[in-house]
A and B are shown apart, each in its own frame.
Chain A
Amino acid sequence: MDEHTLDGNAIAGPLHQHLGREMTAARATCGHCGKTFVLAELVVYARAPGSVGRCRHCESVVLVVTEFRDTIRIHWNRFALAEPPTP
């Protein structure tokens, strides 16, 4: 594992602010490999223009978070919440 990677905890702030609820404990399924895991377990490449969340199992990009000035954007890429997160 690349020493410079982080995990899904690193994008908890923008996810929570944008979606209005805590998300790192939510489970989601990677549409590339079919594995289900909590968002905290994403491999996050944060040393980039935005934060890139990759599946820990197949390395596919499943979530990209950008914060431009005060605008947060969350891009889901074949990554489906497996259950409604608890509010």
Chain B
Amino acid sequence: MSPISRGFMGRRRENVDPSRVPPGQYVTHDFPVLSAGPTPHTDLDDWTFTIDGAVDTSMSWSWSELTSMPADTITRDIHCVTKWSKLDTKWKGVPVEALLDGVHSEATYVTAWSDGGYTTNLALEDVTGGKAWVAYEYDGQALESEHGGPARLLVPALYFWKSAKWVRGLTLTLSDEPGFWEGYGYHNHGDPWREQRYQGD
């Protein structure tokens, strides 16, 4: 048991609205860059978004096809497992539901995969019903590569490692297969309101 460090409060966590900031989180106004590897730079001409796995027919969209689809403009709070939360972030992106429209599958899980090899697993129900987007604009600008551009998954209801940067596709699966951080002990679901940081939380 560590002794309390006299006068240490951690990041300023006072004056936050507990209905908006999950337990253990602090509010930041900048946008920290977290990354498990080098930033990939894929030419938009070569970029595709693919839905495959346990599906009748795989589907794929080019950059121009994806960005011509009807998109949502959304404002959401985001929560990182490293304990920062950022309120009222503004995004534009295609709802995942729209990409899954017409896909026939028995799958109940998806693995999002990215340039650079990153993966994260999600329950299908966590990426449908208006809960997830393939986002390509942040705050009215093209999404910067350090924040996951050209496009990242956006699943604001879950810890932000689920919002895979540099996302290139969703692989539908019949069982829940741990992604990168989940395989290293992070929680399979990752609900910030239940503080599901690590396996067993």
Q: Which residues of B contact A50 (CB under 8 A)?
A: 181, 184-186
Q: A47-B34, A68-B198 are in contact. Are A2 and B39 (CB under 8 A)?
A: yes
Interface of B, secondary structure class, is: loop
Report the minimal beta-carbon distance from A69 to chain B, rounded to whole angstroms.
Answer: 8
Q: Is A16 an interface residue (CB 8 A)?
A: no
Within 8 Å of chain A (Cβ to Cβ): is B81?
A: yes
Known: A66-B184, A73-B185, A75-B184. A49 touches B37 (CB 8 A): no
Cβ of B23 < 8 Å from any Cβ of A? no
A-B contacts, 30 listed (Cβ < 8 Å): A2-B35, A2-B38, A4-B35, A45-B35, A47-B32, A47-B33, A47-B34, A47-B35, A48-B34, A48-B35, A48-B82, A49-B34, A49-B81, A49-B82, A49-B161, A49-B181, A50-B181, A50-B186, A52-B36, A54-B37, A59-B38, A61-B37, A61-B117, A64-B184, A66-B185, A66-B186, A68-B185, A73-B184, A75-B183, A75-B184
